[in-house]
Structure 1
Amino acid sequence: MTSPEHQSPAPQPSEPESAGYREQVHRSSGGIAGGVLLLAVIGWLGIDAVATGEGRTPWLALAALLFLVPLVVAFTLRPAVLVSEDRLRVRNPFRMIVLPWGQIAALRSGYSHEVVTRSGAKYQLWALPVSLRARKKAARRAARAAAEGAPETTGRSGPGRGGLLHRGGAGDGPVRAETDKIMDDLRALLEDRGEARTAQGEVTVRWAYEVAAPAAAGAVLLAVLLAVG
């Protein structure tokens, strides 16, 4: 029989895990629609030129496709803002920026939405374009509701839209343009998680060579073909 002093120590309870929020992804629906349309037009014209063109035309078309397609993808389909409990990931046309909440000093909204780090670096949120038209429309709705004596609400977070950002119910604030509402939610999350132990770390920036390299190669090839004449 094992004596008490030689018994194995009881296992200590592990540190509680985080709540495991589902990552939220924000993208521009207008940008995606425009990108798909542009790619369809460019693809149709380029393939037609390659198939039916004569002389240098097919080569010029291929170079133009190699140059234009990555750029269209970079500026329309690629941008996204990915939000988790511990960090904000910003996928811009040519860079991926990972920002722990503890490194973010502010989230600003003006003619563009941007994140400012504690070191003073600024990164624009390409996936959240500012719509002055949407802001004016929201302001008119708010003014009309105030004149009628009925408070206008955002209408966010119905029963099926719970998650990391949308934690409130419908009627939890004044009407706002869609990207401005997202920024409000991000500021609330920054306030909640900015001092959390798991939300600390360093800001990392990675260049999207998979986008930049084909576009650069296409530009060089196109320039050479045009210069050769």
Structure 2
Amino acid sequence: MTSPDQSPEPAYAERVFRSPAGIAGGVLLLALGAWMGIDALVRGHGRTPWLALAGLLLAVPLVVAFTMRPAVFANDDRLRIRNPFRTILLPWASVADVRASYSSEVFTKDGAKYQLWAVPVSLRKRKRAARRQSQSAHDDPHGRTSVNVDVSDSRARAADADHAVAGLREQAERCASRDTARGEPQVRWAYEVIAPALAGLVVLLVLLATG
């Protein structure tokens, strides 16, 4: 029989944050690009098919990088941020704070700052939340507001970004003391996105220069 002192620590399933609007926009852009590119490849003459191919090689990785690739993964041990050109691994013990103002950002204890592309901020909702917060505090009689909102205040969580940031902040505070949450931040460049985009750019520039 297991005593209460020996009970395992609670495990929290990994949470994933993405931008549905960004993914939908990426799918539409890829469909439009594929339609135009294939049309140019099939019906184009002379250098047009090659220009279209180079344009697709440049555009497709960039569209995927900025719309479909961004994601944030959070589990008991670490925060994994997948931005357009980098993947950042942050053990919870290295996280100092998570904030949302003009964008959602995470700060490490060594002073680094990383943006959460997958958790976009709506400035209109942010100003509305800030106005409500300032009115409730009676500290701004002229109605001036800021985009900065205390997301720890449940009344200020008017946008999905605020809910996500508040949840990540709470998880950082809860999991930072775990032995498995220790370590140094790691940053890896997304060469699988950068390499084909650079190749497409080089080919496109060569074609344009020699035309």
Normalization by structure 1: what TM-score?
0.77
Q: Quote the Cα distance in structure 2 between the aligned partners of 1:35 and 1:28.
A: 11
> 2:157 aligned with 1:173, yes or no?
no
| Matching residue's letter, 1:98 | L
Q: CA deviation at 1:108?
A: 2.1
* Structure number, greater radius of gyration: 1
1:21 paired residue number: 12
Q: Give the count of matched residue pairs.
A: 190
2:21 paired residue number: 30
Q: CA deviation at 1:198?
A: 1.4
Q: CA deviation at 1:135?
A: 2.3
Q: Quote the Cα distance in structure 1 between the aligned partners of 2:48 and 2:177.
A: 59
Deviations 1:100-134 (A, max 9, x none): 00001111221111111111111111111111122
Q: Quote the Cα distance in structure 2 between the aligned partners of 1:93 and 1:37.
A: 18
1:226 paired residue number: 208
2:194 paired residue number: 212
1:58 paired residue number: 49
> 2:97 aligned with 1:115, yes or no?
no
1:155 paired residue number: none
Q: CA deviation at 1:18?
A: 4.8
Q: Gaps (5+ residues) in structure 1? A: 1-14, 146-171
| Matching residue's letter, 2:161 | T
CA 1:17–1:66 in structure 2 vs 1: closer, same or farther (change >3 Å)?
farther
1:198 paired residue number: 180
| Residue range with higher mean Cα deviation, 37-46 or 17-26 | 17-26
Q: CA deviation at 1:64?
A: 0.1
Q: Quote the Cα distance in structure 2 between the aligned partners of 1:88 and 1:108.
A: 14
Q: CA deviation at 1:204?
A: 0.8
CA 1:119–1:47 in structure 2 vs 1: closer, same or farther (change >3 Å)?
same
Q: Is the 8 A contact 2:100 2:161 kept in 1?
A: no
1:154 paired residue number: none
| Residue range with higher mean Cα deviation, 78-87 or 17-26 | 17-26
CA 1:199–1:16 in structure 2 vs 1: closer, same or farther (change >3 Å)?
farther
1:39 paired residue number: 30
Q: 2:62 aligns with which of 65, 71, 77?
A: 71
| Residue range with higher mean Cα deviation, 186-195 or 84-93 | 186-195
Q: Quote the Cα distance in structure 1 between the aligned partners of 2:190 and 2:177.
A: 30
Q: Quote the Cα distance in structure 2 between the aligned partners of 1:43 and 1:92.
A: 24
Q: CA deviation at 1:17?
A: 5.3
Q: CA deviation at 1:69?
A: 0.2
1:187 paired residue number: 169
Q: Gaps (5+ residues) in structure 2? A: 1-5, 137-152
Normalization by structure 2: what TM-score?
0.83
Query: Secondary structure of 1:174's partner?
Result: helix
Alignment RMSD (CA, Å): 2.2
Q: Quote the Cα distance in structure 2 between the aligned partners of 1:94 and 1:104.
A: 21
Q: Alignment identity in percent?
A: 60
| Matching residue's letter, 1:181 | H
Deviations 1:44-66 (A, max 9, x none): 10110001000000000000000
Query: Secondary structure of 1:58's partner?
Result: helix
Q: Quote the Cα distance in structure 2 between the aligned partners of 1:108 and 1:173.
A: 14
